[in-house]
């Protein structure tokens, strides 16, 4: 069968592949410690589940406007009026099947073959794939140190006639880092100068630990609203990954293009889920806070132990539920009689030999690192760290 070149230009998501392998081992009765998945381990909060049941019973089971039900579009506008001080019109909002679909629709709407789109490494796995699917070329900015900030000089060098957009992901998956004011100011200046669209993937913005909220480019530079798309959703903050609900706000022209694509592809996000999402956005802050506080406790549990492993460095993530640790000190050494050649291979050894599932940095454009999700119980964290310490004790020179 002939398959289109565009699908041959991408690979299956490595994070989903490792999670699937870990699940298969678990199903076969193995005691796998899963630290690979990118999803909270809490049940979706009760008031949201109840709102979904009410929506089903009220008969919200038919097609909805493909841009989203009016109540949810209104709730999203209200969120950004309060949080960013921006009055988005109803034609500036779209609701999709996850933040992932918002991002996909945005790439399809903005990029053409020969265009370039800029992504800071380490990056979420789907950005380069989505850019390639739009026929464009991802320009991946190398990172400088474990602050994992924006490499402003590399961004400046990447700005050319065909450079259309830059994606900001703060807090960042996989590093947990949060962009600082000076990073955002540099992006703002370059976006104005080189006519770039800025895409803010804010999906982890409620999960920050050291500041009440992460800095936002539109709070510092509201004049950029006419060239900025803000993408968010309910997956991470409300533990609703499987519900598939995301949304975006931005310039009306771009939103109209994204709505048109959705009209002709998936139509609306699941109607009764949209009603549940209204309940999520209306939840008192305590609902998210209880989950955030638990993640904060787990961060304290895992990061010092990773950082104390010989040959390992782990910076404290400012947000998300990921610890991104450098295992460069293990490369070239020997573990249980085998040479450690890469973190890709090390992640395979951890899963097959020690039953600890983590994602290798190679997936995120950062060879030498491993991503540990702490969206799991403290028992899993403690046991995984015990196994890592036992493993580290067996490290030897070649
Ligand atoms: C950085 C980032 N953006 C977007 C998404 C997609 O979120 P959603 O579940 O809303 O599609 C994820 C999910 O892993 C993510 O990590």
- DSSP label at 162? T
Query: Residue 169: CB within 6 Å of ligand 1?
Result: yes
Using the atom order of ligand 1, give the atom closest to the CA of residue 172.
1
Instruction: Give the mean model confidence (pLDDT) for residues 204-211.
Output: 97
Query: Residue 99: CB within 6 Å of ligand 1?
Result: yes
Looking at the chain, the whole-number percentage of residues with pLDDT higher than 90 is 90
Instruction: Give the mean model confidence (pLDDT) for residues 18-26.
Output: 85
Ligand 1 pocket test target in 167, 235, 266 with most atoms within 8 Å of CB = 235
Using the atom order of ligand 1, give the atom closest to the CA of residue 245.
10
Q: How far is the C-alpha of 181 from the C-alpha of 280, rounded, in Å? A: 29
Per-residue pLDDT reduced to its tens digit, 71-128: 999 999 999 999 999 999 999 999 999 999 999 999 999 999 999 999 999 999 999 9
Query: Residue 106: CB within 6 Å of ligand 1?
Result: no
Query: Residue 124: CB within 6 Å of ligand 1?
Result: yes
CB atoms within 10 A of CB 212: 5
Distance 13 CA to ligand 1 centre (A): 12
- Residue 75: its pLDDT value, please? 98
Ligand 1 pocket test target in 126, 232, 262 with most atoms within 8 Å of CB = 126
Query: Residue 319: CB within 6 Å of ligand 1?
Result: no
Distance 397 CA to ligand 1 centre (A): 39
Using the atom order of ligand 1, give the atom closest to the CA of residue 233.
10
Predicted confidence (pLDDT) at residue 19 exceeds the cutoff of 80:
no
Give the sign of the dihedral formed by CA 71, CA 72, CA 77, CA 83. positive
Query: Residue 295: CB within 6 Å of ligand 1?
Result: no
Distance 100 CA to ligand 1 centre (A): 6
- Residue 8: its pLDDT value, please? 86
Query: Residue 38: CB within 6 Å of ligand 1?
Result: yes
Q: Which fold has domain 5-43+286-396?
A: 3.90.1150
> Cis omega before residue 122 (within 30°)?
yes
| The pair of three-digit structure tokens given for residue 12, joined into one six-digit string | 């299956």
- Residue 371: its pLDDT value, please? 98
Query: Residue 203: CB within 6 Å of ligand 1?
Result: yes
Distance 131 CA to ligand 1 centre (A): 15
Query: Residue ranges of the domains in the chain?
Result: 5-43+286-396, 46-284
Predicted confidence (pLDDT) at residue 398 exceeds the cutoff of 90:
no
Predicted confidence (pLDDT) at residue 397 exceeds the cutoff of 90:
no
pLDDT band per the 50, 70, 90 thresholds, residue 44 = very high
- The domain 46-284: what is its CATH number? 3.40.640.10
Distance 178 CA to ligand 1 centre (A): 16
Q: How far is the C-alpha of 109 from the C-alpha of 103, rounded, in Å? A: 10
| The pair of three-digit structure tokens given for residue 145, joined into one six-digit string | 């140190």
Ligand 1 pocket test target in 15, 124, 205, 322 with most atoms within 8 Å of CB = 124
| Maximum separation of any 2 CA atoms in the chain, in Å | 67
Q: Could you please report the per-residue DSSP string of 190-247?
A: HHHHHT-EEEEE-TTTT-BSSSSS---HHHH-GGGGGGEEEEEESTTTTT-GGG--EE
Distance 95 CA to ligand 1 centre (A): 14
């Amino acid at each position: 069968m002939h398959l289109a070149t565009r699908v041959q230009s991408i690979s299956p998501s490595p994070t989903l592949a490792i999670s699937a392998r870990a699940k298969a081992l678990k199903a076969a009765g193995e005691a796998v410690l899963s630290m690979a998945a990118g999803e909270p381990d809490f049940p979706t909060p009760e008031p949201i589940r109840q709102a979904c049941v009410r929506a089903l019973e009220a008969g919200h089971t038919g097609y909805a406007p493909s841009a989203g039900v009016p109540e949810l579009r209104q709730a999203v506008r209200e969120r950004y009026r309060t949080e960013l001080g921006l009055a988005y019109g109803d034609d500036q909002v779209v609701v999709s099947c996850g933040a992932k679909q918002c991002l996909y629709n945005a790439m399809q709407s903005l990029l053409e073959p020969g265009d370039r789109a800029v992504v800071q490494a380490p990056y979420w796995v789907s950005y380069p794939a989505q850019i390639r699917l739009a026929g464009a070329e991802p320009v991946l900015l190398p990172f400088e140190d474990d602050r994992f900030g924006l490499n402003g000089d590399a961004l400046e060098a990447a700005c050319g006639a065909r450079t259309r957009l830059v994606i900001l992901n703060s807090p960042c998956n996989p590093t947990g880092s949060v962009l600082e004011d000076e990073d955002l100011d540099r992006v703002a200046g370059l976006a104005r100068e080189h006519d770039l669209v800025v895409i803010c993937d804010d999906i982890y913005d409620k999960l920050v630990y050291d500041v009440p909220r992460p800095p936002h480019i539109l709070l510092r530079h509201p004049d950029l609203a006419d060239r900025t798309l803000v993408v968010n959703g309910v997956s991470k903050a409300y533990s609703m990954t499987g519900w598939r609900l995301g949304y975006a706000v931005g310039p009306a022209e771009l939103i109209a293009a994204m709505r048109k694509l959705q009209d002709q592809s998936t139509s609306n996000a699941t109607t009764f889920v949209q009603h549940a999402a209204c309940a999520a956005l209306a939840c008192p802050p305590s609902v998210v806070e209880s989950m955030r506080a638990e993640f904060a406790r787990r961060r304290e549990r895992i990061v010092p132990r990773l950082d104390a492993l010989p040959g390992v460095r782990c910076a404290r993530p400012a947000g998300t539920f990921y610890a991104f640790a450098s295992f460069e000190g293990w490369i070239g050494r020997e573990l249980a009689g085998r040479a450690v050649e890469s973190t890709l291979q090390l992640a395979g050894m951890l899963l097959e030999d020690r039953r600890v599932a983590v994602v290798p940095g190679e997936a995120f454009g950062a060879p030498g690192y491993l991503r540990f999700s702490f969206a799991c119980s403290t028992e899993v964290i403690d046991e995984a760290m015990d196994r890592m310490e036992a493993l580290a004790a067996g490290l030897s020179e070649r």
